[in-house]
Amino acid sequence: MELTTNYLGLTLAHPFMPGASPLSDNLDTVRELEDAGASAIVMRSLFEEQVVRDRYGLVYATHTDTATRAAIASYFPSSSEYALTPHQYLEQIRLIKARVSIPVIASLNGTTAEGWLECARALQSAGADAVELNFYHIATDVLEDGNSVERRLLNVVAVLKETVRIQVAVKLSPFYSSLPHLASRIESLGADGLVLFNRFYQPDIDPDELDAAPRLQLSASSDLLLRLRWLAILSQSVRGSLAVTGGVHEPIHAVKAVMAGADGVQLVSALLQKGPWHLTTIRRGFEQWCEAHRYGSIDQIRDSMSLALSPDPHAFERGHYARILQSWGR
């Protein structure tokens, strides 16, 4: 079974890799991931706020009022709470590159196209083979319309592409008015791939403390459905790479993601819960399923589903929506 895939211009042995997470923090774990068959390593993110604080000693310098600035600064981790300082992040890239022979994808997490993006050049010099940009942005400003939010993302992508030679993937959220249009604009700026989707960590409320109660919840396989829909829709127009992140826990989830159009399949929650060797289970299970169903290559699996895709995804969505609502109780 030919599992080779092209992801961001990198030829990978297969699509399965650990996604951005603490799994890249420990060099022994990274080595274990490679031994378990990871085709690449995606590192945890280096945050814009870290880089800005490291350089200028401030987070969100735009507020003039000192009390507001202090309140905002208190939302963020202190420098020592981040797992890696910007300097240590670069060192970690070098150490990982020295330890494993698979590609290493660094991750930047930010929402402005300001000077902090220059640090991408340092990631490249440290040996990163590609960079994943996580644009984690929640639109909260009544004066910022949808177009401006998209422009903000596109500016970050444009500056990042001008800054580095290595390939750039953009990790998106699903909450845009028209993802196909946005995806085509991101591609037109030269981005090499999209990663679907960012998971938003939704704070709960602690009613006794009258405070927000942020919780880190690992994913469930039900998270995959949203990704499958958008992989299937975007794979019809996106020419670059597509990766899935969110809800892949078992081999059959990986089969569905590749069928829907994924070139790369990232796992985090499943590996945190079951350990790096679960990657071997995913790859073997994927291979067994494909062989049992007489598929010979990744391309063949992807093509098999694209033949079944609707020529009119809008009508497909409306039609199936109407039908499913009628089916209750019948």
Please report, as ranges, the residues that interact with ligand FMN according to CB under 6 A: 19-22, 44-45, 107, 109, 134, 171, 199, 216, 218-219, 223, 245-248, 267-270
205, β-bridge pairs: 212
For residue 292, give both structure tokens. Answer: 């049992």
Q: Which is nearer to ligand FMN, 172 or 295 (CB)?
A: 172
- Give the CA radius of gyration of the chain: 20
Q: Which is nearer to ligand FMN, 264 or 295 (CB)?
A: 264
Q: Which is nearer to ligand FMN, 134 or 235 (CB)?
A: 134
Smallest distance, Å, CB 207 to ligand FMN?
Answer: 26
- Residue 312, burial from CB neighbour count under 10 angstroms (0-12, 13-18, 19+): exposed
CA separation for the pair 148, 101 (Å, rounded): 41
Smallest distance, Å, CB 138 to ligand FMN?
Answer: 15
Q: Which is nearer to ligand FMN, 40 or 295 (CB)?
A: 40
Smallest distance, Å, CB 181 to ligand FMN?
Answer: 23
Smallest distance, Å, CB 74 to ligand FMN?
Answer: 21
The amino acid at residue 128 is: A
Smallest distance, Å, CB 62 to ligand FMN?
Answer: 24
Q: Which is nearer to ligand FMN, 230 or 295 (CB)?
A: 230
For 277, list phi and psi in degrees, rounded to 5. -70, -10
CA separation for the pair 112, 330 (Å, rounded): 51
193, β-bridge pairs: 169, 241
Q: Which is nearer to ligand FMN, 109 or 295 (CB)?
A: 109
CA separation for the pair 221, 248 (Å, rounded): 6
Smallest distance, Å, CB 310 to ligand FMN?
Answer: 27
Smallest distance, Å, CB 92 to ligand FMN?
Answer: 12
Q: Which is nearer to ligand FMN, 53 or 171 (CB)?
A: 171
For 105, list phi and psi in degrees, rounded to 5. -110, 115
The amino acid at residue 53 is: R
CA separation for the pair 249, 152 (Å, rounded): 33
End-to-end CA distance of the chain: 43
What is the enclosing helix (H) or strand (E) of 325?
helix 313-326
